[in-house]
Amino acid sequence: MPIYEYECKACGHRLEKLQKLGAAVLTDCPACTAAALSRLVSAAGFRLAGEGWYETDFKSGGKKNLAGDGGSDKTGGKDETAA
């Protein structure tokens, strides 16, 4: 369920409300009881938690830790055929 932000045009009170997508838009301000609430447009919020989620998710085969490899060349850039 998304969190919607509202602002009262009468008193300026702002609030956030967790609502279902199909829920009716709030109209009554809880601070001044005026029917002057309007829904605000805001950026979607999300939190990145933990370490390495981007390195291990959606990878297949041997591509599990791309950031720690130093590139796709596993020899470290050395030519193994040279003596």
Higher pLDDT, 3 or 62: 3
Would you tell me how many other CB atoms lie within 10 Å of the CB of residue 55? 13
- The amino acid that residue 34 corresponds to is A
pLDDT average, residue stretch 50-65 = 59
Q: Burial code of 26-41, b = ≥16 C-beta within 10 A, e = fewer?
A: beebeeeeeebbeeee
pLDDT value at position 31? Answer: 96
Q: What is the pLDDT of residues 28-54, one digit of tens each?
A: 999 999 999 999 987 776 666 666 556
pLDDT value at position 39? Answer: 94
Given a contact cutoff of 8 angstroms between Cβ atoms, the answer to whether 31 and 14 are in contact is no
- The amino acid that residue 20 corresponds to is K
